[in-house]
């Protein structure tokens, strides 16, 4: 079983000056599904129309889990967000699919077990109703955040959607009913050029995170990948609320929405989330069983994408990392066999294997590097996206050994590692000196005062992968207002 959740008491943030914002039918209780075991779970939700179940393991510490109660008093939903559910076995029924499914998660100020979503292709006809479940995420018993109230959370999984279609929806329910304002989102297309937003480490400035979200909105990305350290202290539910608020409403018009609830957001936890209940309660990722949401994968466009929690691999021991590494090996073997349909393999996790900046020589980073690089080499992973070091860095295509990376002549012969971590965290100095395997690096903040952060846009085409990295400027505007600082393309 996973070790008990740890509590954090972290030092104040480095840097991260504040910025001004721009602009003035119920599931039933069933045995656990994908994963083969419930890991001690005592509650299970079977979303209607989905070929998987959701069974939060007891190690999460969630309380008051309950299926939707249509008779419960409704309460105004806040901070509606979209994630992904499903199984983690590629090729099997219920496997996670962002083109046909979505997970709606939200909070309420009052305690209620009303949890429904109603949606449709027309904002005036939201006739497709799905039921979900509710729970409370308790505060830690000691340490930062222990005096905060529990978070009242709600979640509904929806399957059977149409790829590339815009849906309008409301969440809420109850009696008397209370529903959120109508929002919209578009399922990920099943073909054509697909844009994915890439960022990480927002922990010190919610205002910079908001700037990044403005860029993601203007770029029209199909979904976002985030490499961890969303907040500074993972035990403080109030920090998640503050940071999510900055993604929720348009800063220029609070009656309109920004990206939260409009775009799918898939997040790997970082060391500041530390595998805590607050992280797992706030974000939806695929998976079930004892290690639910610590590893997941899905196919999107021309790529197979893996989202990995590297915390226990880097600092833990025993079953969790062993289970994760075994799953990785099997998942990537299946992805390699499917290269004809999905030529590229992409992984996102927190710690940068080949970062030459502040954390590059840390023991936990070395542990992750030693465990993961042989797997990436074995299965010819094309691109690894990381955070942790607050700058931008791209490696040349390399293979191991981890102690002496070997530069390869072609991108298809090695793995390219990218650190893109500047969505609000205080800047770190980029790695200095000559490093054979480093292709490019850049800083922000005091290391390049033109920029307050960095982010990337990843574009997937049939046999072409392109990543464009931008230096984030404080001025309002779209991607065109920021500087393109790096780009590379891989063909298969």
Q: Is the pLDDT of residue 24 over 50?
A: no
Average pLDDT over residues 345-354: 98
Q: Is residue 126 part of a domain?
A: yes
Give the per-residue pLDDT at 481: 87
Give the per-residue pLDDT at 29: 34
Average pLDDT over residues 109-130: 97
- Cis status of the peptide bond prior to 174, with omega within 30 of 0: no
Q: Is residue 81 part of a domain?
A: yes
Q: Which helix (H) or strand (E) covers residue 374, if one does? A: helix 363-378
Which has the closest alpha carbon to 237: 66, 26, 8?
8
pLDDT digits (tens, 9 = 90+) for 145-159: 999 999 999 999 999
Average pLDDT over residues 272-284: 96
Q: What angle do CA 132, 134, 135 make, to 5 degrees?
A: 150
- Which residues make beta-bridge pairs with 448? 445
Please state, for a pLDDT cut of 70, what percent of the chain lies above it. 91
Q: Estimate the crossing angle of helix 206-219 against helix 237-248, to 10 degrees.
A: 40
DSSP-assigned letter for residue 447? T
Average pLDDT over residues 443-450: 97
Strand-strand pairing, 416-420 and 383-386: parallel
Give the per-residue pLDDT at 20: 40
Q: Is residue 9 part of a domain?
A: no
End-to-end CA distance of the chain: 40
Give the per-residue pLDDT at 32: 32
Give the per-residue pLDDT at 40: 67
Outline where DSSP puts E strands in 387-446. 392-395, 398-399, 406-407, 416-420, 438-442
What's the pLDDT band for 316 if we cut at 50, 70, 90? confident
**Percent of the chain as helix, strand, coil, to the nearest 5:** 15, 30, 50
Give the per-residue pLDDT at 3: 37
Cβ atoms of 285 and 266 within 8 Å: the answer is yes
pLDDT digits (tens, 9 = 90+) for 250-262: 999 999 999 999 9
Cβ atoms of 306 and 268 within 8 Å: the answer is no
Q: How far is CA 428 from CA 89, 351, 465, 478, in A?
A: 38, 14, 28, 25
Q: Is residue 10 part of a domain?
A: no
Cβ atoms of 242 and 209 within 8 Å: the answer is no
Whole-model pTM: value is: 0.92
In three-state secondary structure terms, 203 is coil
Query: Edge-to-edge strands of the sheet including 63-67?
Result: 63-67, 133-137, 151-158, 102-108, 77-83, 264-267, 223-226, 194-199, 453-460, 464-472, 483-491
Other residues' Cβ atoms within 10 Å of the Cβ of residue 111: 14
pLDDT digits (tens, 9 = 90+) for 171-202: 999 999 999 999 999 999 999 999 999 999 99
Give the per-residue pLDDT at 177: 96
Mean pLDDT of the chain: 91
Q: Which two tokens stand for residue 405?
A: 């990376």
Cβ atoms of 272 and 10 within 8 Å: the answer is yes
Give the per-residue pLDDT at 133: 98
Q: Which residue segment(s) compose the domain that 465 sits in?
A: 58-491
Q: Is residue 175 part of a domain?
A: yes
CATH assignment at residue 290? 3.60.21.10
Average pLDDT over residues 38-53: 87
Q: Is residue 31 part of a domain?
A: no
Say if residue 71 is exposed, middle or buried (CB neighbours under 10 Å; 0-12, 13-18, 19+).
Answer: exposed
Average pLDDT over residues 305-327: 92
Q: Which two tokens stand for residue 404?
A: 């002496």
Which has the closest alpha carbon to 157: 41, 42, 46?
46
- Alpha helices per DSSP H over 249-362: 277-282, 311-315, 319-337
Q: Which two tokens stand for residue 301?
A: 């466009």
Average pLDDT over residues 449-459: 97
Q: Is the pLDDT of residue 383 over 50?
A: yes
Q: Is residue 244 part of a domain?
A: yes
Q: Is the pLDDT of residue 308 over 50?
A: yes
Cα distance between residue 400 and residue 473, in whole Å = 36
Q: Which helix (H) or strand (E) covers residue 156, if one does? A: strand 151-158
What's the pLDDT band for 27 if we cut at 50, 70, 90? very low
pLDDT digits (tens, 9 = 90+) for 471-486: 999 865 555 589 999 9
Q: Is the pLDDT of residue 12 over 80?
A: no
Q: Is residue 106 part of a domain?
A: yes
Give the per-residue pLDDT at 476: 54
Other residues' Cβ atoms within 10 Å of the Cβ of residue 399: 18
Cα distance between residue 429 and residue 425, in whole Å = 13
- The set of residues, in sequence order, having a beta carbon less than 8 Å from that of 317 and lying 6+ positions away, is none
Q: Is the pLDDT of residue 81 over 90?
A: yes
Q: Is the pLDDT of residue 2 over 80?
A: no
Average pLDDT over residues 345-362: 97
Domains contained in the chain, number:
1
Which has the closest alpha carbon to 228: 290, 275, 289?
275
Q: Is the pLDDT of residue 332 over 60?
A: yes
What's the pLDDT band for 245 if we cut at 50, 70, 90? very high
Cβ atoms of 286 and 85 within 8 Å: the answer is yes
Look at the alpha carbons of 28, 30, 34, 37 in this order and tell me if their dihedral is positive or negative: positive
């Amino acid at each position: 079983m996973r070790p008990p959740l740890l509590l954090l008491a972290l030092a104040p943030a480095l840097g991260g000056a504040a910025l001004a914002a721009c602009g003035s039918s119920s599931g039933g209780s069933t045995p656990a599904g994908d994963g083969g075991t419930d890991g001690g779970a005592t509650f299970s939700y079977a979303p209607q129309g989905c070929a998987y179940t959701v069974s939060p393991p007891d190690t999460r510490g969630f309380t008051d889990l309950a299926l939707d109660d249509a008779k419960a008093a409704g309460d105004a939903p806040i901070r509606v967000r979209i994630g992904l559910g499903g199984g983690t076995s590629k090729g099997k029924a219920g496997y996670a699919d962002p083109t046909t499914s979505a997970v709606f998660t939200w909070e309420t100020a009052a305690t209620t077990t009303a949890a429904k979503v109603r949606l449709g292709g027309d904002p005036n006809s939201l006739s497709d109703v799905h039921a979900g479940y509710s729970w409370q995420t308790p505060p830690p018993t000691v340490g930062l955040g222990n005096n905060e109230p529990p978070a009242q959370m709600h979640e509904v999984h929806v399957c059977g959607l149409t790829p590339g279609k815009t849906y309008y929806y409301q969440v809420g329910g109850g009696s008397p009913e209370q529903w959120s304002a109508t929002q919209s989102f578009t399922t990920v297309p099943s073909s054509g050029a697909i844009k994915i937003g890439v960022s990480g480490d927002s922990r010190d400035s919610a205002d910079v995170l908001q700037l990044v979200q403005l860029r993601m909105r203007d770029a029209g990305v199909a979904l976002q990948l985030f490499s961890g350290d969303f907040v500074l202290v993972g035990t403080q539910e109030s920090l998640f609320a503050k940071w999510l608020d900055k993604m929720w409403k348009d800063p220029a018009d609070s009656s309109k929405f920004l990206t939260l609830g409009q775009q799918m957001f898939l997040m790997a936890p970082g060391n500041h989330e530390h595998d805590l209940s607050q992280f797992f309660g706030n974000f939806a990722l695929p998976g079930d069983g004892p290690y639910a949401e610590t590893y997941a994968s899905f196919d999107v466009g021309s790529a197979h994408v893996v989202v990995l929690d590297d915390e226990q691999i880097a600092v833990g021991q025993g079953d969790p990392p062993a289970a994760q590494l075994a799953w990785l090996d099997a998942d990537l073997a299946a992805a390699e066999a499917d290269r004809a349909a999905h030529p590229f393999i992409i992984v996102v996790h927190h710690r940068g294997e080949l970062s030459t900046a502040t954390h590059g020589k840390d023991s936990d980073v070395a542990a992750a590097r030693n465990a993961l690089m042989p797997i990436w080499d074995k299965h010819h992973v094309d691109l690894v996206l990381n955070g942790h070091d607050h700058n931008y860095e791209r490696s040349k295509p390399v293979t191991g050994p981890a102690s002496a990376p070997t530069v390869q002549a072609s991108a298809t012969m090695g793995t390219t590692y990218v650190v893109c971590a500047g969505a609000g965290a205080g800047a770190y100095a980029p790695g200095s000196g000559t490093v054979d395997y480093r292709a490019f690096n850049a800083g922000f903040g005091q290391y390049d005062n033109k920029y307050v952060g960095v982010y990337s846009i990843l574009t997937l085409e049939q046999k072409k992968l392109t990543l464009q990295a931008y230096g984030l400027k404080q001025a309002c505007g779209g991607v065109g207002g920021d500087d393109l600082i790096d780009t590379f393309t891989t063909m298969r």
